[in-house]
Structure 1
Amino acid sequence: MSNWKVWCDGACAPSNPGPCAWGSVIEDPEGNRTEHCGFIQKMGTNNIAELTAAIESLRRTPEGATVSICSDSQYVLKGLTEWLPGWKKKNWKTAAGKPVLNKELWVILEQEAGRRTVTVEWVRGHNGHPENEQADGLANSGLKLAPV
């Protein structure tokens, strides 16, 4: 399969923790783009929002595809590429010996990434990167989807 590109972001507002949502822009190999967003929960953290954005974005790409995830979340990108193997070796404990937060989401993200060939790219948030700003706007739109 050809290369897919994903820009994803999470939002937690008006406070962290607080209501959280996700957004993403997905580009298929032909250059067609789609926008996605969703509300997660009334009380969550920014890290939950960022992880969910990556999971939901990957789920919208075909299994077996090569996917580049572009995010402003070093938590997600480093977790996926650097920290996961160590956490698993230590029975889901951090280097400090504490339980890994959001383990359930990390397990899902690892499964989704494992069904694809994934590379990651970090971009500084709120720095004018067009697709990252678009994903951020979509995540904030997702907050408006909260049930009343």
Structure 2
Amino acid sequence: MSQWKIWCDGACAPTNPGPCAWGSVIQSPHGDRTEHFGFIQAMGTNNIAELTAAIESLRKIPEEVPVLLCSDSQYTLKGLGEWLPGWIRNGWRTASGSQVANKVLWQALHKEYQARKVTLEWVRGHNGHPENELADRLANRGLQ
């Protein structure tokens, strides 16, 4: 079965926290590719940038379709694949009882994730993966 593919990344520079942006490469089931990026805010964190990259990328994909979401962010992927059910069950609190950081972004990402048939894949960042490297360059372009 054909699926959409997303490679997304966030950037925060020159410091973290600092200005942050996101970038992504999206491939349709037919092989067509589009590039996307955007500035987020003047004072944010890398985690905010990574979450926003996934949210904005998924929003560009039709609902109810299979999607492979590739990211170098363990925070994003583990959050979606492992931590989110517990956070929701615990009223958006972590296992230690503290509030989930970036709750509004996690809620938005969860909504987009649920609307599609998403498979998660981790790619090592800054390791020569062509689409991940391009997503990184696009995120940095969003900072300019």
Give unpaired runs (5+ residues) of structure 1. Answer: none
1:31 is matched with which residue?
31
Tell whether the 8 Å contact from 1:54 to 1:109 is kept in structure 2 after alignment: yes
Give SS of 1:94's match.
Answer: coil
Matches within 5 A, 1:75-86: 75-86=75-86
Give SS of 1:138's match.
Answer: helix
Residue 15 (structure 2) pairs with residue 8 (structure 1): no
Give the Cα separation in 2 of the matches to 1:143 and 1:95. Answer: 34
Root-mean-square deviation (CA, aligned residues, Å) is 0.9
Give the Cα separation in 2 of the matches to 1:9 and 1:96. Answer: 28
2:99 is matched with which residue?
99
Cα 1:2/1:62, change in 2 over 3 Å: farther
Tell whether the 8 Å contact from 1:58 to 1:112 is kept in structure 2 after alignment: yes
1:95 Cα deviation from its structure 2 partner? 1.4
Give the Cα separation in 1 of the matches to 2:35 and 2:98. Answer: 37
Q: Alpha-carbon deviations, 1:91-136, whole Å to 9, x = none? A: 1111121100000000000001111000000011001111000000
Give SS of 1:97's match.
Answer: coil
TM-score of the two chains, using structure 2 as the length reference: 0.98
1:64 Cα deviation from its structure 2 partner? 1.1
Give the Cα separation in 2 of the matches to 1:95 and 1:128. Answer: 35
Give the Cα separation in 1 of the matches to 2:78 and 2:140. Answer: 24
Tell whether the 8 Å contact from 1:2 to 1:65 is kept in structure 2 after alignment: no
Give unpaired runs (5+ residues) of structure 2. Answer: none
Give the Cα separation in 2 of the matches to 1:30 and 1:2. Answer: 8
2:87 is matched with which residue?
87
Report the count of equivalent residues: 144
1:125 is matched with which residue?
125
Give SS of 1:136's match.
Answer: helix
Tell whether the 8 Å contact from 1:59 to 1:112 is kept in structure 2 after alignment: yes
Give the Cα separation in 1 of the matches to 2:87 and 2:116. Answer: 21
Residue 140 (structure 2) pairs with residue 140 (structure 1): yes
1:140 Cα deviation from its structure 2 partner? 0.1
Tell whether the 8 Å contact from 1:22 to 1:52 is kept in structure 2 after alignment: yes
1:63 aligned partner, one-letter code: E
1:2 Cα deviation from its structure 2 partner? 3.9
Residue 54 (structure 2) pairs with residue 54 (structure 1): yes
% identical equivalent positions: 72
TM-score of the two chains, using structure 1 as the length reference: 0.95
1:90 aligned partner, one-letter code: N
Give the Cα separation in 1 of the matches to 2:70 and 2:143. Answer: 21
Deviating above 3 A after TM superposition, structure 1's stretches of 4 or more consecutive aligned residues are none
1:87 aligned partner, one-letter code: W
